């Protein structure tokens, strides 16, 4: 089953996403900030990344920029998950595959994930 890396600083959101996606059958990796997320992406090469924009240490835009500029990572689909008012524009400018605005439904998220990694 595909592996999803959740890069999210809010414990409740990270736990909710992880629990839901594990129930869907995905392997889950979790990072609490952009820097940890970058390290995990380099180490594990996940099938997809869920990325919050506003985080401590290294924000999501820096993590996404790193992913897109690193040859062994640039192919990984990234879905930005954010309540930031400019999230859609930022995600598009930095090369995210999709963006979902918080709060969002888990069903909508699952559809986006399935579309990007070919799961049915």
CATH number of the domain to which 99 belongs: 3.40.50.2300
As a whole number of angstroms, the distance between CA 24 and CA 45 comes to 20
Using 50, 70 and 90 to split pLDDT, how confident is the model at 118?
Answer: confident
Confidence (pLDDT) at 8: 97
As a whole number of angstroms, the distance between CA 73 and CA 83 comes to 25
| Domain limits for position 28 | 3-117
> What's the chain's average pLDDT?
95
Using 50, 70 and 90 to split pLDDT, how confident is the model at 55?
Answer: confident
Work out how many domains the chain is built from and give that number: 1
| Reported pTM | 0.96
- Phi first, then psi, for residue 114 (nearest 5°) are -60, -40
At 61-115, the pLDDT tens digits run 999 999 999 999 999 999 999 998 999 999 999 999 999 999 999 999 999 999 9
C-alpha dihedral (25, 114, 107, 42), degrees to nearest 10: 70
């Amino acid at each position: 089953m595909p592996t999803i890396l959740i890069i999210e600083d809010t414990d409740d959101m990270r736990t909710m996403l992880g629990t839901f996606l594990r129930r869907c059958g995905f392997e889950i990796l979790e990072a609490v900030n952009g820097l940890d997320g970058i390290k995990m992406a380099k180490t594990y090469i996940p099938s997809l990344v869920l990325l919050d924009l506003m985080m401590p240490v290294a924000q999501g835009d820096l993590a996404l920029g790193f992913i897109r500029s690193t040859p062994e990572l640039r192919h990984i689909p990234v879905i930005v998950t954010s309540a930031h008012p400019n999230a859609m524009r930022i995600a598009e400018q930095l090369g995210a595959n999709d963006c979902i605005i918080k709060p969002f439904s888990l069903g909508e998220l699952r559809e986006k994930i399935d579309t990007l990694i070919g799961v049915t």
